[in-house]
Amino acid sequence: MGLFTLPTTIPWLSLIWLSTVVPAAIIALTPRRHAEAMRWTGAIFALLSLVLSLLVWLAYDPIRGGFQFIERLEWMPQLGISYLLGVDGISLPMLVLNGVVIFTGALMSWNIEERVKEYWVLLLLLTTGVYGVFVALDLFLFFVFYELAVLPMYLLIGVWGSTRKEYGAMKLTLFLMAGSALAIIGMLGLYFGSGLRTFDMIVLSRSVTLAGDLQRIFFLPMFAGFAVLAGMFPFHTWSPTGHVAAPTAVSMLHAGVLMKLGAYGCIRAAMWLMPVGANLWLPIIAVLTIFNVVYGATIAMAQRDAKFIIGYSSVSHMGLVLMGLAAATQLAMTGAVLQMFAHGIMTALFFAVVGRMIYERTHTRQLPELGGLRKVMPFAAWMFILGGLSSMGMPGLAGFWAEFTIFLGVWERYPLIAVIAAISIPVTGAYILRAVWATFDGEVKNPEFFKLPALTWQERTGAIILAVILVVVGIYPAILTELISTGVEPVVAQLTGVVVAGR
C-alpha cells in the first residue's frame, strides 16, 4: 500500500505534464509588460507539478510494484501507437527530481530580465518534455517527448546563455539530435523486427520476440542514442560546453534532469526491451565508462572555469551511473538510479551557486579571479561545500549511498573495473576541494566583491530545498532505495533470465 490512495478517475500523470504546458500557454498570451506576473505563474505551476509528482510518489504502492497509474488512450491504433502512461520505481524518483529542479530552477530564473516571456515559455516546454519522457510507456510517445525536451534548449542557451553560447547551443542540439537519430533506427528495428507491430513497451518487454541477432544489432544504436544524452564517453563533449553556455536554470535542468533522461532511456528503451543485445554490449560499455569516470574527473581537475569543473564532474558522475547500468546487477542498478537522483539534486545546487549566486554578481567564474567569497556570501559557500561533500561521496549525504552502492554492485560483476574507477574518488575530492578553496577561502581578492548585492529570498529558498533533500536522502536513503529496487528488479530479471536461458 502507498501512504494513501488517489482517486483513479483523475489522470494524474497527464496532469503532471499538462501542469507545465498550461502556464506556457498562459504566459505566451500575457502582455509583455507583466514580467513579474509571468514569473509567478511559471513558479507556481512548477510548484504544482512538483506537488502532483509528490502525490503520485506517495500514493504509489511499492509492495505491489510494477507500473501504476496507467493511462491508455488510442492514438494511432492502426500502427500500434498509443498514448500510454505509467510510473514505476525508476520513473518516480525521476519525476520528483524533475519537479524539484524545475521549481528551484524557476526560483533561480527570477533575475532574467531580457525577453522574459519567451524564456519562460521555452523553459516550461522543456520541462513538459522531460516529464513526458518519464511517464511515457509507449516508445513512440517516449520519443516525441524526448525531442520536445531537447529542442527548446537550443534557443534557451543561444539567447540567454553566456560564454560561446551559439557554439555551445548548436553543438549540444546537434549531438542530442544525432542521439535521437540513432534511437529512431533502434526503434524501427525493434518495431518491425519483433513482428508485434506495436510501440507499447509493456508488451514489447513482456515477451521479447526480437530475434537475438537483431537485438545484438539494434541494441547498440538504441543504447548509444540515449547514452549521448547521458554524456557517455566518447560522446560527452557537448555536455561541458553546453552546461557552461547555458543560463543557470537551464544548466540546472540540463545537468540535473536531462542527462538522467538519457540514462533513463538507456534502461527503458534499450536494456529492458533488448536483453540479449544488452548482454553482448554491456561489458564493452562498462569499459568505456571507465573513461567517463576517471578521465572526466581528471579533466575537471585541470579546469579554471568553475562551471567547466561542474560540467566535467557531471560527465564523471554520469559515468558512474552508466557503469552501474553496465554492471546490470540489482545492487548496481539501484545505485545507478539513486545516483541519478542524487547527482541531479547536487548538480542543480552547484549550478545555482556558481551560475546564479556567484557569476551573476561577480561576472566571472575563473577560479584565479575569485577568492574569499565565504566572507561575502557565507550562505553560498556553505551550500557549495554541502554539494561538494555529496559529490565526493561523504557519508551522511545522498551521493555517498549512491556511489557506495554502485561500487559494490560493479565489484560483484567487474571487480577490475571497480578498482580502476575508484581512482576517481580521490581525484573528485581533490578538484572539489580545490574549487572550494579557490572560490571561497582566503582573502577577498577583489575589493569590488564587498559591494555585491545580497542573496535574494528566491535564491535562498531554492538552495535550501535542494540542500535539505541531499541531507534527508543521505540520512535515510531507504525512502528511495526500496522504491528504486522494485523498479529495477524486472529489468535485472530480464537480463539475468536471458543469461540463464542461454538465449
Partner 1 sequence: MFQITDIPRLLPEILLLVLALLVLGSDIFEKWGRTPEAQLERVRSSASLTAIGLGLVFVIALLQSAYVPGTRAPQGPVGNAVLDWLLTILRNLQSGGPGGEPVTGAFATDHLTMIARLTFIGAAFIASLLCLDYRPSAHPAEFYALILFSTLGMCLMAGATEFIMAYLAVELTSIPLYILAGYFRNDARSSEAGMKYFLFGAMSSGILLYGMSLAYGYAASALAGNVTANDLTQFGRVAQLASDAGAGSTLLTLGMVFVIAGVGYKVAAVPFHGWAPDVYQGAPTPITAFISTASKAAGFILLLRLLTTAFPALSGGASLADLGGWTSLVAFLALLTVVVGNLAALPQTNAKRLLAWSSVAHAGFVLLALVAWAAPQPFDRDQGAAALLYYLVVYTLTNLGAFGALAAINLIVGGDEIADLNGLARRNLGLATLFTLCILSLAGIPPLAGFFAKFYVFMAAWQGGARWLVVVAVITTLISLYYYLRLLRAMFIAPPPSETPLPAPPAIMAAVVVAVVPLIVVGLFPNLILGVISRVQTVAGM
For partner 1, give the closer residue by CB, 225 or 474.
225
Q: How many Cα atoms within 13 Å fall on the side-chain side of residue 326?
A: 30
DSSP of 354-386, one letter per residue?
IIIIIIHHHS--BGGG---HHHH-HHHHHHHHH
* Residue of 118, 138, 403, 459 that binds partner 1 (CB under 8 A): 118
Cα distance between residue 275 and residue 281, in whole Å: 10
Cα distance between residue 494 and residue 271, in whole Å: 9
DSSP state of 266: I
Buried b (16+ CB within 10 A) or exposed e, 32-68: eeebeebbebbbebbbbbbebbebbbebbebeebebb
Strand partners, 74: 82
Q: What SS3 class is residue 74?
A: strand
Residue type, 316: S
Q: x/- binding map, residues 379-398, to partner 1, per CB under 8 A?
A: --------------------
For partner 1, give the closer residue by CB, 140 or 281.
140
Q: Could you tell me the smallest distance in angstroms from the CB atom of residue 93 to partner 1? A: 26
Question: What cell was used for 468?
Answer: 535539505
Cα distance between residue 394 and residue 404, in whole Å: 10
Which region among 144-152, 281-289, 430-438, 452-460 touches partner 1 (by CB under 8 A)? Answer: 144-152
Q: Could you tell me the smallest distance in angstroms from the CB atom of residue 94 to partner 1? A: 20
By CB under 8 A, the count of residues binding partner 1 is 31
Which region among 145-153, 311-319, 331-339, 355-363 touches partner 1 (by CB under 8 A)? Answer: 145-153
For partner 1, give the closer residue by CB, 258 or 491.
258
Q: x/- binding map, residues 173-212, to partner 1, per CB under 8 A?
A: xx--xx--x--xx--x--xx--------------------
Which region among 10-18, 170-178, 302-310, 342-350 touches partner 1 (by CB under 8 A)? Answer: 170-178
* Residue of 59, 151, 214, 423 that binds partner 1 (CB under 8 A): 151
Q: What SS3 class is residue 325?
A: helix
Q: Could you tell me the smallest distance in angstroms from the CB atom of residue 170 to partner 1? A: 6
Residue 148 touches partner 1, criterion: CB under 8 A: yes
Residue 166 touches partner 1, criterion: CB under 8 A: yes
For partner 1, give the closer residue by CB, 144 or 258.
144
Question: What cell was used for 383?
Answer: 551550500
* Residue of 24, 107, 155, 286 that binds partner 1 (CB under 8 A): 155
For partner 1, give the closer residue by CB, 143 or 312.
143
* Residue of 144, 370, 377, 398 that binds partner 1 (CB under 8 A): 144
Cα distance between residue 414 and residue 188, in whole Å: 32
Alpha-carbon distances of 167 from 118, 220, 242, 243, 411, rounded to whole Å: 21, 28, 9, 12, 40
For partner 1, give the closer residue by CB, 245 or 495.
245
Q: What SS3 class is residue 91?
A: helix
Residue 159 touches partner 1, criterion: CB under 8 A: yes
Q: Could you tell me the smallest distance in angstroms from the CB atom of residue 189 to partner 1? A: 8
The rounded radius of gyration (Å) of the Cα atoms in the chain is 21
Q: x/- binding map, residues 56-95, to partner 1, per CB under 8 A?
A: -------------------xx-xx----------------
Cα distance between residue 503 and residue 490, in whole Å: 18
Q: What SS3 class is residue 414?
A: coil
For partner 1, give the closer residue by CB, 183 or 300.
183
Cα distance between residue 407 and residue 402, in whole Å: 9
Q: Which residues bind to partner 1, rule: CB under 8 A?
A: 75-76, 78-79, 115, 118, 140, 143-145, 147-148, 151, 154-155, 158-159, 165-166, 169-170, 173-174, 177-178, 181, 184-185, 188, 191-192
